[in-house]
Amino acid sequence: MSHIANQSKYTRHYHPRHLLAQYAINQIATLELRSQDIVKAMGYPIKHTIPACERLRHVLSNKYLGLDGSYMDKYFTAEEFLATLFAVLDIPHTPFAEDIARSKMLLCTLSMIIKVHPMAV
C-alpha cells in the first residue's frame, strides 16, 4: 500500500492499513481538507472537534476501518461514520459497500472464533 499521500500536510497523521482508508486519504489530500473541516462537514459540534478528529484518525489507520467497534461515539455508528465520511469526501459509497460488508463478515467470524476458542487468537 502506498503511503505517498501521507506526505501531505493534510494527511500526515493517517497511517492506512486498509485499501479504502488509503483511497479516502488520497481524496483528503486531493481536496486539501483538514481533519477539522472534515468532522465539521460530517456534522460534529464544535466542542467535539478534537475527539471527532481522533476518531477520524483512528478509522483511517485501523485495519478494519473502525468497524470492529474499537472507537465509538454518540454521533455515529461505525457504518454511519464511514458513509458520512465518504459523502463528505465525495466518494460514492455503493461501489465500496461489498468491501465494507466483507470486512464486517470477517470481524463477525473472528468474534465467533474467539468465543468458541478463546486461546486460538
Residue 24 located in a structural domain:
yes
Residue 113 located in a structural domain:
no
Rounding to the nearest 10 degrees, give the CA dihedral for residues 75, 78, 81, 84.
-120
Residue 111 located in a structural domain:
no
Range of the domain at 55: 4-93
Q: Give the total number of structural domains in the chain.
A: 1
Residue 64 located in a structural domain:
yes
Q: How confident is the model at residue 5 (pLDDT cuts 50, 70, 90)?
A: very low
The pLDDT value recorded for residue 70 is 85
Which cell numbers hold the place of 26? Answer: 488520497
Residue 68 located in a structural domain:
yes
Residue 19 located in a structural domain:
yes
d(C-alpha 33, C-alpha 42), whole Å? 12
Residue 119 located in a structural domain:
no
pLDDT digits (tens, 9 = 90+) for 52-89: 999 999 999 998 899 888 888 999 999 899 999 999 99
Nearest to 20 by CA among 77, 75, 83, 100: 100
**Cα–Cα distances in angstroms (integers) from residue 72 to residues 25, 46, 58, 95, 117, in the given order:** 20, 18, 10, 25, 26
Q: Note whether 57 and 35 are within 8 A (CB).
A: yes
pTM, full prediction: 0.77
Residue 82 located in a structural domain:
yes
